[in-house]
Structure 1
Amino acid sequence: MNIKIETLPKYRIAYVRQVGPYGPANSQAMEKLKQWAKGKELLTESTILLGVPQDNPETTKPENCRYDACIVIAKDYPDDDSICEGQLDGGTYIICKIKHTAKAIERAWNEIFPYLHNNGYQMDNKPILERYIGEMLINDFCEICVPIKPV
């Protein structure tokens, strides 16, 4: 598996929030975001899309889980009342590029935590990100970005 460590910058984002069990509705939120972004001519080869599960489904009831489908926008992009806006703090992340399939995602999670433990890291208290840049969307790839800090 392809794992690297990367420092992500602070991102200004526009997002669509889905509340409920994680699953197919997350894709619907991402499609709604992409339709908005397409109308604003924000979908380009350098666009960064993020999927941000805000809650741990092991500790949060499924009906209360929040998922944000996000697009990184420029600091000077004008405010737009038709969509939510926010900010994601940057930091150090383990980046794992995978095929965007259930099997590959499960395999990645089975390998990420031993990697953290074996390399002197633990998860930081920030959201885990799914990152999609440019061609990744077309080719069904994504990057799982896990926030880390030294043990």
Structure 2
Amino acid sequence: MDVQIKELPAVRVAYLRYKGPFGPALGEFWKEVFAPWQKAFRLQGRVSYGVAQDDPTTTAPNECRYDACVEVAPDYQIAAPAKEAMLAGGRYAVAQFHGTPDQMPAAWQELQTQWLPASGLKKDARPCLERYAADFSIDPATGAFSCELCIPVA
């Protein structure tokens, strides 16, 4: 796994929250809820983030929270149903992911249970992020996409 340590800037985001089991339902949330909202508010073509607010290995599946976020300017007026947040900047271990949604849990697990302990670094209290490029796309034939998996490190 190719991992780099990067300083990420703090960013202001508008987000919609999903609550429930992680897995295929998250992809449906992005497709059926977040993408139409993003289009309606003309927020396409911007960096977006997936933020797991809970650890699915220690939180009951129905209680897991996940925020689908999009970067917005400091003066952008965020309207309901979206909410505002600041994603903390700082030092992150960043791994490139390319694959299908069903491959993402294994990539996260490898990053957290193999790479992180072997690196000698420690995760801090900030949440882990998935960072999607402004030109994010999904291969219609395979369902594959690319993003960065970001673990905050002390």
TM-score range, shorter chain: 0.7 to 0.9
**Who is 1:125 aligned against?**
125
Taking the aligned partners of 2:25 and 2:108, their CA distance within structure 1 comes to: 22
**Which protein has the bigger strand share?**
1
> C-alpha distance in 1, partners of 2:93/2:35?
26
Shift of the alpha carbon at 1:90? Answer: 1.1
Task: Give the deviation of 1:100 after TM superposition.
Answer: 3.1
Give the count of matched residue pairs: 147
* Structure 1: gaps (5+ residues): none
What is the Cα deviation at residue 104 of structure 1? 5.7
Q: Which residue number corresponds to residue 75 of structure 1? A: 74
Q: Does the 8 Å CA contact 2:52/2:129 hold for their aligned counterparts?
A: yes
What displacement does 1:136 show? 3.7
Aligned sequence identity (%): 35
1:4-26 CA distances to partner (integer Å, 9 max, x unpaired)? 11111111111111111112221
**TM-score for both structures, normalised by structure 2:** 0.84
| Range with bigger deviation, 65-74 or 96-105 | 96-105
Alignment of 1:10-21 (within 5 A): 10-21=10-21
Instruction: Measure the CA separation in 2 of the matches of 1:96 and 1:67.
Output: 20
Query: How do 1:91-102 and structure 2 match up within 5 A?
Result: 91-101=90-100, 102=102
- Could you say which residue in structure 1 is the equivalent of 2:146? 141
Deviation at 1:118?
3.2
Note the residue ranges of structure 2 that are not aligned, 5 or more in a row.
140-144
User: Aligned partners of 1:21 and 1:95: how far apart in 2?
Assistant: 24
Distance 1:115 1:88, change over 3 A: same
Q: Given the alignment of the two structures, is residue 34 of structure 1 paired with residue 35 of structure 2, yes or no? A: yes
2:43 partner SS: coil
